Amino acid sequence: MGTVGLDPAVAARLKHDPAGLVPAIAQQWDTGEVLMLGWMDDEALHRTLTTGRVTYFSRSRQEYWVKGETSGHRQWVRSVRLDCDGDALLVAVDQEGPACHTGTRSCFDAGSL
């Protein structure tokens, strides 16, 4: 992990957790539907900004993954915004198919608490 390729001015605005990660919320760009939460380090953010496809860092596998690479349920980047504290990203996407690994459109449709 690190600032490989990421604009130093952007990297300086990010507040990473102890593992060097920042939470990234994926939201459907046109409806505002919250789809999922993933994690990014500087390299994942750089890849997301430069390829137009969302790249996350898997905490369990300790590797990068491009959303939809194997499932076909791609996330196409429309915009990326940083919150006021610099500790979370909002990624507006055009989602193809379900966003959740369970096969549902959103990871947040398990009901209210």
Summarize pLDDT for 22-48 with one digit per residue, the tens: 999 999 999 999 999 999 999 999 999
Residue 103 located in a structural domain: no
The yes-or-no verdict on residue 21 having pLDDT over 60 is yes
Residue 3 pLDDT class (50, 70, 90 cuts): very low
Residue 109 located in a structural domain: no
Tens of pLDDT, residues 54-90: 999 999 999 999 999 999 999 999 999 999 999 999 9
Other C-beta atoms within 10 Å of 1: how many? 15
Q: Which amino acid is at 93?
A: V
Residue 52 located in a structural domain: yes
Residue 43 located in a structural domain: yes
Total number of domains in the chain: 1
Residue among 102, 113, 100, 103 at smallest CA distance from 34? 100
Instruction: Please give the pLDDT value at position 4.
Output: 56
* Distant-in-sequence, close-in-space partners of 104: CB < 8 Å, separation ≥ 6: 98
Domain of 68, in residue numbers: 8-95
The yes-or-no verdict on residue 2 having pLDDT over 60 is no
For residue 57, the domain's CATH number is 3.10.20.810
